[in-house]
Chains A and B, each alone.
Chain A
Amino acid sequence: MSRNRHPLFMPVIFVGGLIFGFGLGFSQMARPEVVLNFLQFEDFGLLFVMFGAAIVSGIAFAVMPRIRDSAPLTGNRYERRLKPFDRNVLIGGAIFGVGWGLSGICPGAAYASLGVGNVTILWALAGMFLGAYLQGRWRSRAASTDTVAAGAD
């Protein structure tokens, strides 16, 4: 897929990101305080952001597969985002919840937050990379001990 990409592939990703980031700025989700206010039941506006966005994207996810088979820039089939359920969804979700509740920051909003001038957010970004690295290391190791028979080293 990466070899013969359509010349408009990257521009479309970029423009989509721009609108996405602008929306996060406009909705104030790039401000950890506003997210924390929601989690403390002081302002329920966040619900409008998440469900507003889900409804808009949901229309596309429902309609596109019926109109076209595949996307023009990649040839990818139009499919919904369906991930298999297992215990990790609960464990990971709970760990993410602790982080979100403590900091008021999630990945997309953190990138946008940097854009609105919140340099302090670099702490959160550093933390996210560290966390992703730790779990990736741990999982890579778990995977290699699974596949390579015990006693390989």
Chain B
Amino acid sequence: MVTDPVPLQLAAEIFPNGISRYAVGGLLVGLGTVVIYLGTGIPAGASTFLESTLSYVSGQSRFQQYVSSRDWRVVFTLGIILGGLAFAATIQSGVITTSLYQPGTTGELYEIGGVTLWSTEVQAWRLLVGGVFVGIGTRIGKGCTSGHGVCGVGSASKTSLVGVVTFLAVAIATAQVVAALGVGP
């Protein structure tokens, strides 16, 4: 019997789905940020879209400060959605296969018009309540996983590093408590 050397066993344990899909995906997320930055000088984050879009329907002063950027933020978000769809129509559908991608077994796959789509099994109340906290928290805390986590950390910003450590630590604690309470998925 051939056993993997210890480091490989350890890697298989903490990375049960390998690392390539994460690393390649992360490089692409960074590349998307870079394309926008090179062209426009804007280090784009995803959460300001929430407030800037609310400026279309609410006159609150807090939202009106984003009027000048709200149109491109809509375009950015539309790009992200369609980027997800492009991924679904190619790799998720198996039209393009690559050894760098491991599909995993979470959630449910379904098909519409030859495109393999994916849907979560995480309960609706968790998404809704969690979403409210995310909406409040990212706006008070000046950024989210892309604003602080990608652009801020990429800028070696101390504020963003503190922000990332804070939300990462609290999220880990929250998820552990929720799991310990037996809530799932």
Q: Which residues of A contact B (CB under 8 A)?
A: 1-2, 8-10, 12-34, 36-37, 39-61, 64, 70-74, 76-85, 88-121, 123-137, 139-140, 143-144
CB pair B80 A112 closer than 8 Å: yes
Choose among B28, B78, B132, B145 the residue that contacts A131 (Cβ–Cβ < 8 A): B132
Q: Which residues of chain B in 31-66 are interfacial with respect to chain A, using CB atoms and an 8 Å cutoff?
A: 31-47, 49-51, 53-54, 58, 60-63
Binary A-proximity of B121-136 (CB < 8 A = 1, otherwise 0): 1101111111111111
Q: Which residues of chain B in 3-25 are interfacial with respect to chain A, using CB atoms and an 8 Å cutoff?
A: 14-19, 21-25
CB pair A55 B80 closer than 8 Å: no
Q: Chain A nearest CB: distance from B91 CB in Å?
A: 7
Residues of A within 8 A of B34 (CB): 16, 56-57, 59-60
When A25-B84, A82-B159, A116-B92 are in contact, do A34 and B106 touch as well, CB less than 8 Å? yes
Closest to B134 in A: A99
CB pair A20 B29 closer than 8 Å: yes
Known: A44-B15, A71-B40, A89-B141. 5 other contacts (CB 8 A): A40-B176, A92-B136, A100-B130, A109-B145, A117-B118
Residues of B within 8 A of A28 (CB): 17, 21-22, 25, 104, 106
Q: Give the CA-CA distance A111 to B159 in the complex, in Å.
A: 25
Q: Which residues of B contact A (CB under 8 A)?
A: 14-19, 21-47, 49-51, 53-54, 58, 60-63, 68, 71-72, 75-88, 91-92, 101, 104, 106-107, 110, 112, 115-122, 124-160, 162-164, 166-179, 185
CB pair B158 A102 closer than 8 Å: no
Q: Chain B nearest CB: distance from A78 CB in Å?
A: 5
Residues of A within 8 A of B155 (CB): 58, 61, 80-82
Residues of B within 8 A of A60 (CB): 33-34, 37-38, 154
Q: Chain A nearest CB: distance from B34 CB in Å?
A: 4
CB pair A112 B81 closer than 8 Å: yes
Specify the main secondary structure of chain B where it touches its partner: helix
CB pair B83 A25 closer than 8 Å: yes
Choose among A48, A77, A97, A125 the residue that contacts B166 (Cβ–Cβ < 8 A): A97
- Kindly name the residue among A73, A115, A118 whose own CB sees the greatest number of chain B CB atoms within 10 A: A115
Specify the main secondary structure of chain A where it touches its partner: helix
CB pair B79 A58 closer than 8 Å: no
Q: Chain A nearest CB: distance from B63 CB in Å?
A: 5
Q: Give the CA-CA distance A137 to B160 in the complex, in Å.
A: 25
CB pair A97 B170 closer than 8 Å: yes
Closest to B138 in A: A96
CB pair A126 B131 closer than 8 Å: yes
Residues of A within 8 A of B47 (CB): 106-108, 132
CB pair A52 B120 closer than 8 Å: no
Q: Give the CA-CA distance A98 to B168 in the complex, in Å.
A: 9
Closest to A99 in B: B133
Residues of A within 8 A of B133 (CB): 95-96, 98-100, 102-103, 127, 131
Residues of A within 8 A of B143 (CB): 83
7 cross-chain pairs, A with B, having the tightest CB-CB distances, nearest first: A17-B79, A127-B131, A27-B25, A92-B141, A131-B135, A115-B84, A21-B83
